[in-house]
Amino acid sequence: MTLFELERNAEFEQLITHLEESSTPNIRKRSAEILGSLESKAGGNQYPRDEVIDALVTASQDDENDAVRAAAIDALDQYGQDALERFIGEVSGQDIDTLAEWKKAKVLARGLTADRPELRMAAATGLGRIGEDNVLNALVDRLTDPDPRVRKRVARALGRIESPESVPTLSRRLHEDQYDVRIEIAYALADIGTDNALRELVDIADAENEVLRRIAVDALGRLGSTDAVEVLAGALSDESDTVRRTAMFSLVQLLSEAPANASHQVREKIVGELEEANEQEAVQPLIEILDRSTETAQRRNAAWLLGRIASSEYRSQAQDALVETLADDDEMTSKFAATSLSLLDGNGLEQRLLELVESENKDEEMRVKALFVLGKIGGDRARKRLSKFVERTESDRLRKRGFSALSKLGGVGTINGDFA
C-alpha cells in the first residue's frame, strides 16, 4: 500500500513499521507526520495509543535524520502534553508528569538550553501547550537558537501563548531568518492578532521582496476575520504567480477560520472582493483547489465560492470542476458543488446534467446531485426526459430524487428533501 492508502485506512502497524525500518528518510518522516494526523483514531479498538507514542518517542531520539526526529516530535505534540512529557522524561531522566503546571513550565524552560536540540524543541513545544507567561522571556530568548528546528517551534509556542510582549522580537526575526522559520513567525503574529502584529503582516504583504509577500498572505489566512480580506484580494493581482495562488488559498482558509458569529460577514466580504477582482485570477485558483487539494475545508469553500463569482467568461470551466465534484467523498462538498451549479445555469448545463443522470455508468451519488440541480434549473426538456427516466430507472433512490426534481419543475412528484 502507498502511504496515502495507509493514512486513509489508518494502518497504524504498517506506518510504525515504515517509521522504524524504512531506509528512506522521506518515508520515515512522512510516516511520523501521518501517525500524528491519526491521533484521534489511536486508542480503543483501533490501535494502542501507547504503542504509537512509544514508536514516536524512539524515533524522536534515535533516528539518524534531523527532519525525521523533528517530525516525530511534532507528531508527539498532536498526541498531547503527556506524550511530549514522556519524551522529555526519557531524554532528561526527570519525571515531570506529576508536577504542577507552573513547576513543569520551569523545568521545560531549563530544557530550552539543553545540549540536545530535540530536547529544546520538545521543551519549546511543551511550553506553548502549558501557556505560562512566567517563561515567556526564556522562549523569546530562544528565537536566536542556532538550530532552525528549535526556532520554528519557539515561534509556534509564542503563537500559542498569544502574548503581545513577544511581537517586537518576532517582527525583527521575520526579516532575518530562513524561509521555513519566517513562516512560523508569521503564523505566530497572525495568532497573536494584536494591532501591531497584524500591521507587520499587512506591511510586508506590500514588500518588494516576493518571499516576504508570500509569507504575509499565507499567514493572513489564519485570522478568520474581515481585517485581512482586502489585503488578500489585492494580492490576487500580484506580479508573482506564487503570491497570487497563495492569496487565494488564504482567502479560502479564511472561510474556515472565521468564528461562527462572524462567518456570514466574512463570506459576504470575500464574495464582494472576489467579484471585483480579475475573474481569471479569482476563478482559476478555485478550480485548481477543487482539482488538486486534499483538504476537505478548502474544497468545500472553493465549491461554495465558485457558484458566486464565476461569470460568463469562466462559467463553463467552473461548471466542469463542479460537475466532477458532485461525486466527492465528502457529502458537504458535493452538496456545495450542486448548490453552486444551480447558480451557474447556461452553457448547455441542462443537457449535460440530463446525460449524466441517464448514464448507467456514472456514480449514483453524482446522478442524485445532478437531479437536484435539474430541479433548480431545468425547463420543459428536463421535465419530459425526467418523466421518462423515473419510469424506467431501477434505482429507488434515483426514482425518488427524480420525482422530487419533477415536482419542482411542475411535473408529478413529491418533495422529500433536496438530498435526503
Q: What is the 3-state secondary structure (H, E, C) of 306-343?
A: HHHHCCHHHHHHHHHHHHHHCCCCCHHHHHHHHHHHHC
- Start-end of H helices in 136-262: 136-141, 148-161, 167-174, 179-192, 195-204, 210-220, 229-235, 241-257
The pLDDT value given to residue 416 = 45
Question: What pLDDT shows up at residue 412?
Answer: 58
Q: At what angle do helices 81-92 and 49-62 cross, to 10 degrees?
A: 40
Per-residue pLDDT, 358: 94
CB 296 within 8 A of CB 273: no
CA-based end-to-end distance of the chain:
35
For residue 210, the model assigns a pLDDT of 93
> pTM for the full model?
0.77
How much is the pLDDT for 243? 93
The answer to whether residues 363 and 400 belong to one domain is yes
The stretches in the chain having pLDDT less than 70 are 411-420
Which of 381, 406, 409, 410 lies closest to 398 in space, CA to CA?
406
Residue 44 lies in a domain: no
Residue at 136 is within a domain: no
Q: Are residues 368 and 335 in the same domain?
A: no
Which among 382, 376, 386 has a CA at the least distance from the CA of 408? 376
Are 360 and 317 contained in the same domain? no
Q: Which residues contact 226 (CB under 8 A, 6 or more apart)?
A: 262, 265, 266, 269
Whether residue 335 is found in the same domain as residue 301: yes
Nearest CA to 307 out of 223, 245, 377 is that of 377
pLDDT at 410: 82
Same domain, 331 and 368: no
Q: What domain count does the chain have?
A: 2
* pLDDT (0 to 100) of residue 420: 46
SS3 label, residue 364: helix
- Evaluate whether residue 393 is within a structural domain: yes
Q: Domain ends where: 301, 321, 344?
A: 344
Query: Do 300 and 335 have their domain in common?
Result: yes
- 304 within a domain of the structure (yes/no): yes
Domain carrying residue 297: 290-344
- In this predicted structure, what is the pLDDT of residue 411? 67
DSSP state of 23: S
Report yes or no on 199 lying in a domain. Answer: no
How high is the pLDDT of residue 282? 84
Q: Are residues 336 and 395 in the same domain?
A: no
Is 377 among the domain residues?
Answer: yes
- Residue 301 belongs to a domain: yes
Q: Quick one: pLDDT at residue 141?
A: 93
> Which of 281, 312, 344 is the endpoint of a domain?
344
In a domain, 194, yes or no: no
